[in-house]
Amino acid sequence: MKIAAISSILLLALIVRAFLYYQNQPQFFEGQEIDIAIILNSEPKIFSNRQVLSANLGLNRLTIITSFLPQYHYQDKLRISGKLESRVLKNGSKLFILYFPKIDKGNQNAILKSVTQLREKFIDLFNHTLPLNYSSLLLGITFGIKGKMTEEFLNNLRITGVLHVIAASGMNVTLFGGFITAVFGFFLKRQIALFLSIFGILFYVVLAGFEASIIRAAIMGILVFSSQILGRQRLSVYGLILAGYLMIFVNPNTIFDIGFQLSFFATAGLLYIRPIFYSSEILKKILDTSIVGGDIATTISAQIATLPILLANFGIYSIWSVVVNALVLWTVPILMIIGGIGGALGLFSDFTGRIFIFLSFPLIFYFEKIINLFSNFGGLLKIESLSWQAVIGYYLLLGILIYKNLKNFKI
């Protein structure tokens, strides 16, 4: 009864919050003169003679096209004024555009400025050590930083279902927080080391960028480390629900963000579907003794949980996705460690950092060849449209199957 009452109160609070949020959203229209302040949450796209910046304008996306100089960067605080133009996208949403508006750059928070300078240092170090696709891949895997890639390689990652590896995720947060705990655990009390790991996670969020997946992962990671400090049992499911709730409460429009949906449901898949693979002693033995068994179980679980979202938004699914993920995911933790240590060494000596980062070359070479090979195999499942009724039906059926298989399993 207590859980039901608390859940009802939280749901009511969320409904009120969403109502007030959408009621108070400003309205924008074609030809309107605007004067807004934004903080860049992603690095601008650089072309030969211009920059393209992205931001949110109320509930709509805003694209700012400006001159090549002066260059702007992630976390810059900008004051922008100009006349809006608009376009309607294929999905029915509206995109507003500002062509060469007036832009004034404000003073950045000292802490954020230090972190963004560090971010630029990492990008420069990796780009001067490895070829373009390789450096961007390692930056994405290690820090969740979206670097420049050739359109062909980016498309191959998308086709083979491996695009998620260049986005900061729960694994990145876990490894990063665990590394900090291990390092400080040598000469500090465990509780102090865990406390410092929380600040490390917050630092990682700023470094990686404020993507839905990394914010959700960070909230869960902080909850996990906090529970360890307090000596409480780790409750991953409640952590996921609380992380999702807080993100939606702060910004109700988050629920429509594809990145948030994929991140939330993929994590739920790992919590609820993956244990099914280990419920059978025979299957558990096969997975535990196989080198890629764990990766296969993880990939299938996440893809079952996110399949309707992928099809509804992208319309394609590769039948080779599970195979490709099984072949490359084992390299990700190793590449994270090499990239992280190489980046840290590069802060003191460019030469030492670059030597260490170059150790990743064989693994990234292997990664690239697998991606490019399977991207030419075809095997794409294409769906023009997927109704909301089909999506709800899929998740209801999946929920029933999970409940029947895991009713005796406690997370």
- In SS3 terms, 118-168 reads as HHHHHHHHHHCCCCHHHHHHHHHHHHCCCCCCCHHHHHHHHHCCCHHHHCC
3-class secondary structure, 37: strand
Q: Considering Cα of 206, then 148, then 306, then 280, what sign does the dihedral take?
A: negative
Of 316 and 255, which is predicted with more confidence?
255
The CATH number, out of the four listed (3.90.1580.10, 3.40.50.1370, 2.40.50.140, 3.40.50.720), of the domain defined by the range 29-108: 2.40.50.140
Sort 86 into a burial class: Cβ within 10 Å, 0-12 / 13-18 / 19+: middle
Cβ neighbour number for residue 90 with a 10 Å cutoff:
5
Q: What is the mean pLDDT of residues 295-305?
A: 79
Of 357 and 264, which is predicted with more confidence?
357
Task: State the average pLDDT for the chain.
Answer: 82
Instruction: Outline where 186-235 has alpha helix (H).
Output: 190-208, 212-230
User: What is the pLDDT confidence band of residue 12, given thresholds at 50, 70 and 90?
Assistant: very high
3-class secondary structure, 129: coil
Distance, CA of 55 to CA of 361 (rounded, Å):
35
What is the per-residue pLDDT for 16? 93
Angle at 152 (CA atoms; ends 151, 157), nearest 5 degrees: 95
Integer-rounded Cα Rg, in Å, for the chain is 22
The reported pTM is 0.75
Give the start-to-end residue ranges of the domains of the chain.
29-108, 113-406
Structure tokens at 84: 């809006």
Residue 408 has pLDDT above 60, yes or no: no
Rounded percentage of the chain residues whose pLDDT exceeds 70: 90
Residue with tokens 């949110």: 56
Residue 253 has pLDDT above 80, yes or no: yes
Sort 294 into a burial class: Cβ within 10 Å, 0-12 / 13-18 / 19+: middle
Q: What is the mean pLDDT of residues 307-312?
A: 82
* Residue 87 per-residue DSSP state: E
Please give the C-alpha separations between residue 228 and each of 180, 181, 197, 231, 236, in angstroms, as whole numbers: 15, 11, 11, 5, 12
Q: What is the mean pLDDT of residues 76-82?
A: 90
User: What is the pLDDT confidence band of residue 1, given thresholds at 50, 70 and 90?
Assistant: low
38 in Cβ contact with 78 (< 8 Å): yes
Q: What is the mean pLDDT of residues 341-353?
A: 91
Residue 314 has pLDDT above 90, yes or no: no
What is the per-residue pLDDT for 228? 61
In the sheet that 85-88 helps form, which strands lie side by side, from edge to edge?
Answer: 45-46, 50-57, 60-67, 94-99, 85-88
Q: What is the mean pLDDT of residues 228-239?
A: 63
User: What is the pLDDT confidence band of residue 28, given thresholds at 50, 70 and 90?
Assistant: confident
Phi then psi for residue 87, to 5 deg, are -140, 145
Q: What is the mean pLDDT of residues 44-57?
A: 85
Residue 338 has pLDDT above 50, yes or no: yes
Distance, CA of 217 to CA of 172 (rounded, Å):
9
Distance, CA of 259 to CA of 268 (rounded, Å):
14
pLDDT in tens, 256-289: 887 788 878 888 887 888 888 777 777 777 766 7
What is the per-residue pLDDT for 411? 47
Structure tokens at 153: 């390689």
pLDDT in tens, 105-152: 887 777 777 877 888 899 999 999 999 999 999 998 888 787 788 888
- Evaluate the omega torsion of the peptide bond into residue 26 and state whether it is cis, within 30 degrees of 0: no
Distance, CA of 215 to CA of 221 (rounded, Å):
10
Distance, CA of 322 to CA of 302 (rounded, Å):
10
Distance of CA 143 to the CA centre of its chain: 11
3-class secondary structure, 109: coil
Q: What is the mean pLDDT of residues 84-93?
A: 79
Phi then psi for residue 153, to 5 deg, are -70, -40
Give the lowest-confidence range in 192-201, 279-288, 343-352. Answer: 279-288
Out of 67-76, 199-208, 292-301, 355-364, the most confident range is: 355-364
Of 8 and 107, which is predicted with more confidence?
8
